[in-house]
C-alpha cells in the first residue's frame, strides 16, 4: 500500500437495528464521508428479519454506489441481491463460498489473530481478510490482533486487510500505516451523532 493512501472505512451495522430509523441513520453516515463497503451483521438468526433489513439497507447503500455484504449467510446473500458475504470461520468455507457465489461477489473472511488462517483464506480467493479485535474487549477469548501482525501482512501479502473490533483513536493512529480498511461499527453507533463520531475517528487515519 502506498504511503500516501489512507485506509478506507468498512462500516459494520449494529447487531440489532430498528428498521424505522436505522436506514436513515445509515444514509446520513454514508453521505458524510466515503465508505468502501457496509456489512450487515445482525445477531438474529431470523431469516425474515434479516431479509427485511437487507432489503432496506440494500436500497440505502446501492443508491449511493456502496457495496453491501452480509455476515455468514451465503444463500441469503445471493437471494437478496447483495454484493457478497463476510465469513466468520477463517478459511474454512472460502472455497465453497467462492464456487457458490462466483468471481464477481465480494468474499471476505474474519481470521481473528491468525496469520496462517489469513494466508490460507487469501490463497483460496478471498477479497479481503479481517483481523481483530485490535483492542481489548471482554468479548471473545482475550486474544488481540497486534500491530505487528498488520505490519507484517502489509509488507508480505497483497490481499487487502481490515482491522476491526474495539477500535479507538490511538489504535487507529497506530494501525493506519499498515491496514487497508478500518471495520467500524459499535464505535460510532453508540454515539449521539454517528456521522460526527466517524469524522473524529477518521481524523486519526
Per residue in 92-109, pLDDT tens? 999 999 999 999 999 999
| Count: domains in the chain | 1
In this predicted model, what pLDDT tens digit does every residue of 45-59 receive, in sequence order? 999 999 999 999 999
58 belongs to a structural domain? yes
Establish if 1 belongs to a structural domain. Answer: no
Where residue 1 falls among pLDDT bands split at 50, 70, 90? very low
Asked whether residue 139 carries a pLDDT value surpassing 90, the answer given is: no
Predicted TM-score (pTM) of this structure: 0.96
DSSP track, 123-163 = HTT-SEEEE---S--SSTTS----HHHHHHHHHH--S-EEE
For residue range 147-183, what is the model confidence (pLDDT) as tens digits? 999 999 999 999 999 999 999 999 999 999 999 999 9
CATH number at residue 116: 3.20.20.70
Average pLDDT over residues 39-47: 97
pLDDT tens digits, 59-75: 999 999 999 999 999 99
Per-residue pLDDT band at 4 (split at 50, 70, 90): low
Task: Look up the domain containing 171 and give its range.
Answer: 8-202
Asked whether residue 19 is domain-assigned, the answer is yes
Residue 191 has pLDDT above 90, yes or no: yes
- Residue 163 domain flag: yes
β-bridge partners, 37? 10, 67
Percent of the chain whose predicted confidence (pLDDT) is above 90: 95
Amino acid at each position: 500500500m502506498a504511503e500516501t493512501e489512507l485506509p478506507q472505512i468498512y462500516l459494520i451495522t449494529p447487531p440489532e437495528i430498528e428498521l424505522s430509523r436505522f436506514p436513515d441513520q445509515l444514509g446520513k453516515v454514508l453521505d458524510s464521508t466515503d465508505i468502501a463497503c457496509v456489512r450487515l451483521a445482525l445477531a438474529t438468526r431470523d431469516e425474515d428479519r434479516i431479509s427485511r433489513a437487507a432489503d432496506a439497507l440494500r436500497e440505502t447503500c446501492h443508491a449511493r454506489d456502496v457495496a453491501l455484504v452480509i455476515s455468514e449467510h451465503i444463500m441469503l446473500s445471493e437471494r437478496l441481491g447483495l454484493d457478497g458475504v463476510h465469513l466468520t470461520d477463517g478459511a474454512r468455507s472460502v472455497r465453497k463460498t467462492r464456487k457458490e457465489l462466483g468471481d464477481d461477489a465480494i468474499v471476505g473472511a474474519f481470521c481473528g489473530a491468525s496469520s496462517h488462517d489469513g494466508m490460507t483464506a487469501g490463497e483460496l480467493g478471498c477479497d479481503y481478510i479481517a483481523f481483530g479485535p485490535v483492542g481489548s474487549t471482554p468479548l471473545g477469548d482475550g486474544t488481540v490482533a497486534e500491530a505487528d501482525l498488520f505490519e507484517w501482512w502489509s509488507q508480505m501479502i497483497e490481499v487487502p486487510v481490515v482491522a476491526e473490533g474495539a477500535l479507538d483513536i490511538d489504535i487507529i493512529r497506530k494501525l493506519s500505516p499498515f491496514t487497508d480498511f478500518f471495520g467500524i461499527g459499535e464505535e460510532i453507533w453508540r454515539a449521539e451523532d454517528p456521522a460526527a463520531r466517524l469524522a473524529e475517528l477518521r481524523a486519526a487515519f
